[in-house]
Amino acid sequence: MATNTKEITGVLDKLHSANKLVSLLDQLHEHGGIYAQAAKALKLCAAKTQDYHAGAKASDENADKMRDVYFPFGQLSYAQMLHVKVQRVISLVKKQSAGLSVLHESLADTYLDLVNYALFAAERAERDARNAADQKPKENK
């Protein structure tokens, strides 16, 4: 199967961009604190995007649209998922306050999930706003 130079260049450009992104996230992580958490959240986002979308990358143009399968009711779906994660935080905090151990997803993991779901929701809200703006009739001048 022959591949043309343009295709190869495109693949190499995407690989270079992905490597730059990983490098930036690693640098962000090295700063520690909130920056390390942001880097963790973004790396988790990229990994989950690949898991949920059969090898898709978070940077793929249609990654946000691919999530629509998991969030079929738009912002209502995202609000529900954020609500579920907030309930998980409350449950974990109560357990920890009572001196009980957590068997599975930790409080830190739940907070990272909240960050990612909030990012997904913000991305969807932006897309919805763009689509609404595109639907408005243009005024004649």
Task: Check the CA dihedral 9-10-11-15 and report its sign.
Answer: positive
Q: For residue 122, what are the contacts with CB-CB under 8 A and spacing of at least 6? A: none
Q: What angle do CA 97, 45, 35 make, to 5 degrees?
A: 65
For the chain, which residues score pLDDT lower than 50? 1-2
Q: For residue 46, what are the contacts with CB-CB under 8 A and spacing of at least 6? A: 57, 58, 59
Enter the tokens of residue 130.
């763009």
Q: How many distinct structural domains can be found in the chain? A: 2
Is 8 found in the same domain as 32? Answer: yes
Separation of alpha carbons 57 and 18, rounded Å = 9
Separation of alpha carbons 32 and 53, rounded Å = 30
Region for residue 124 given its phi and psi (left: phi exceeds 0; alpha: psi -120 to 50; beta: otherwise): alpha
What pLDDT, on the 0 to 100 scale, is given for residue 45? 86
Is 85 found in the same domain as 112? Answer: yes
Q: Which of the listed residues 60, 87, 111 is the one where a domain comes to its end? A: 60
Is 121 found in the same domain as 77? Answer: yes
Is 12 found in the same domain as 43? Answer: yes
Q: Which amino acid type is present at position 57?
A: K
* Domain of 14, in residue numbers: 1-60
What pLDDT, on the 0 to 100 scale, is given for residue 75? 94
- pTM across the whole model: 0.74
Length of the chain: 141
What pLDDT, on the 0 to 100 scale, is given for residue 24? 86
Enter the tokens of residue 42.
């973004």
